[in-house]
Amino acid sequence: MCAAPLFGYGKEKFMTSEKQIKGKASALLPIGVFLVIFLGAGIVFNDFYAMPAIVAFLIALFVAFLQNRGVGFQDKMRLIAQGVGEENIITMSLIFLCAGGFSGAVTAAGGVDSTVNLGLSLIPAHFVVAGLFVIGCFISVSMGTSMGTIAALAPIAAGISEKTGFSMAVCTAAVVCGAMFGDNLSMISDTTIAAVKTQGCEMKDKFKANFLIVLPAAVATMIFFWLVTGDMSFQLKDIGDYNLLLVVPYLVVLVGALIGINVFVVLIGGIVISLIVGVGTGNILLSEMFTVVGDGVTSMYDITVISIIVACIVSLVRANGGIHYILDLIRSRIRGKRGAQAGIALLAFFVDLCTANNTVAIVMSGPIAKEISEEYGVDPKRSASLLDMFTSVGQGLIPYGAQLLSAATLTGLTPFDMLPYLVYPMLMAVCGIGAIILSGRRKNS
């Protein structure tokens, strides 16, 4: 029988003794309840967004509270407060809100449209579809959102398909592939923020490690779209105007994050510059400055609240022995650092398939991945990269994910029409697996 966690109140600090916790499969019941409710609703209603994730997580939290009757309700409240108040959770939530504020400000300023038009004006005639992939990469890295990138570029992909005769599925898949590139790498993406904060590494370090792994996949994807569509010349017409000043906020945030400036400073600086440029160009009224920032912040409420609720669930699951049970299970099946990396990758991929949300998947699997990486000596930037990569692999391929559903809605396709051409997520998985294998060989050498 599992020993109950010991709670100490010395110096008004609530603590759990890790030594008293033993692995217990039943402690994972809340996570199982979430998956059954969330996936079940999606299957029954043929809509994986019929059940809001936050509602499913709240039900799971209620189940977690019902477990372990030997611990009182107030003790459980103190336990989840300790988990939610952990430095990385608070920091992650604040960065989410700042990133939303930047996105709202730069979008209202016209930065998205201007950047898209600038990219389209530079595309060579024989490179039009491959160029869509490249523009998608830049936009998504700059914006930090795959959904925003798809919303901006999918209608353009549809127009290119109509004028060139290229398959609509090919053109749209190029946009989705570019969107997933930035979703994985952008330093203001909620997935990157979650991966970095759960693993305890610097964003610039994770970016560099992650970029080196996926670069071959990005180059191969660009070549693929060029070969598939490069036999036809086409010149885009009626391209909208662009203003280089409106691209500056993206460049400031990107360069600032790369050189290691504090992410809060970078994002706040990006917000200020976006507002100055937006007001200066007349795209933002002076009276609307704070409104556009506020709208961006509120757009991040869902993922912020979900992160907090998941932290509550994980705190109770850990105290009841669920995390230790998973770790014991993984320990019995993996050997060494290479096996640990494979375990993290599989865990991230599987959780994303179940949740259909790569940020939520990282928040859920991050604490377990952190335990694995510490025990087997996996570098935090590598574990963060694997979490972000393999959740993005799943998110870029599952037909019930928001990205494919959004692209399908905007172009009149079905997610299955695009699947054969979604080569970037597939190649990203290949590169990730190759990096894991090569890390083991270097160690043996």
Supply the pLDDT for residue 17: 45
As a whole number of angstroms, the distance between CA 24 and CA 45 comes to: 33
Supply the pLDDT for residue 231: 62
**How big is the CA angle at 424 (ends 421 and 430), to the nearest 5 degrees?**
115
Which residue do the tokens 């759990």 mark? 16
| Integer CA distances (angstroms), 245 to 160, 163, 281, in order | 27, 31, 9
3-state secondary structure of 379: coil
- If you average pLDDT over residues 87-116, what whole number do you get? 85
pTM for this model (two decimals)? 0.76
Supply the pLDDT for residue 388: 95
For the ranges 93-107, 169-183, 210-224, which has the lowest average pLDDT? Answer: 93-107
As a whole number of angstroms, the distance between CA 204 and CA 444 comes to: 28
Judged against a pLDDT cut of 50, whether residue 63 lies above it is answered with: yes
Indicate the residue type of 51.
M
pLDDT in tens, 236-252: 666 667 788 888 888 88
Tokens for 204? 């610039």
As a whole number of angstroms, the distance between CA 95 and CA 194 comes to: 10
Yes or no: say if 124 and 131 are a contact pair by the CB < 8 Å rule: yes
- If you average pLDDT over residues 383-396, what whole number do you get? 94
* DSSP letter, residue 85: T
Enumerate the domain spans of the chain.
90-298
As a whole number of angstroms, the distance between CA 102 and CA 271 comes to: 5
pLDDT in tens, 290-330: 999 999 999 888 888 888 998 898 889 888 888 788 878 87
Judged against a pLDDT cut of 60, whether residue 390 lies above it is answered with: yes
Supply the pLDDT for residue 157: 85
Contacts of 444 (CB under 8 A, 6+ apart): none
Supply the pLDDT for residue 434: 95
In this structure, the number of other CB atoms found within 10 A of the CB of residue 278 comes to: 26
Which residue do the tokens 């770790």 mark? 327
pLDDT in tens, 324-373: 888 788 777 877 889 999 999 999 998 888 777 888 889 888 988 998 99
Nearest to 21 by CA among 371, 276, 338: 371
Supply the pLDDT for residue 257: 74
For the ranges 22-26, 191-195, 283-287, which has the lowest average pLDDT? Answer: 22-26
As a whole number of angstroms, the distance between CA 244 and CA 264 comes to: 24
Nearest to 123 by CA among 153, 103, 144: 153
Yes or no: say if 312 and 57 are a contact pair by the CB < 8 Å rule: no
| Integer CA distances (angstroms), 367 to 31, 54, 103, 309, 431, in order | 14, 19, 28, 14, 24
Supply the pLDDT for residue 408: 86
Judged against a pLDDT cut of 80, whether residue 277 lies above it is answered with: yes
Concatenating the DSSP letter of every residue in 3-58 gives: PPPPEE-GGG--EE-GGG----GGGGHHHHHHHHHHHHHHHHHT-TTSS-HHHHHH
Range list of H helices, 144-202: 146-164, 168-185, 190-199
Judged against a pLDDT cut of 50, whether residue 159 lies above it is answered with: yes
As a whole number of angstroms, the distance between CA 153 and CA 174 comes to: 10
Q: What burial letters (b/e) apply to 389-425, b meaning 16+ CB within 10 Å?
A: bbbbbbbbbbebbbbbbbbbebbebebebbbebbbbb
What's the mean per-residue pLDDT of the chain? 84
Per cent of the chain over pLDDT 70 is 91
pLDDT in tens, 172-200: 999 999 999 998 998 888 899 999 999 98
Query: Per-residue confidence at 164, pLDDT binned at 50, 70, 90?
Result: confident
Judged against a pLDDT cut of 50, whether residue 162 lies above it is answered with: yes
Which residue do the tokens 């963060």 mark? 384
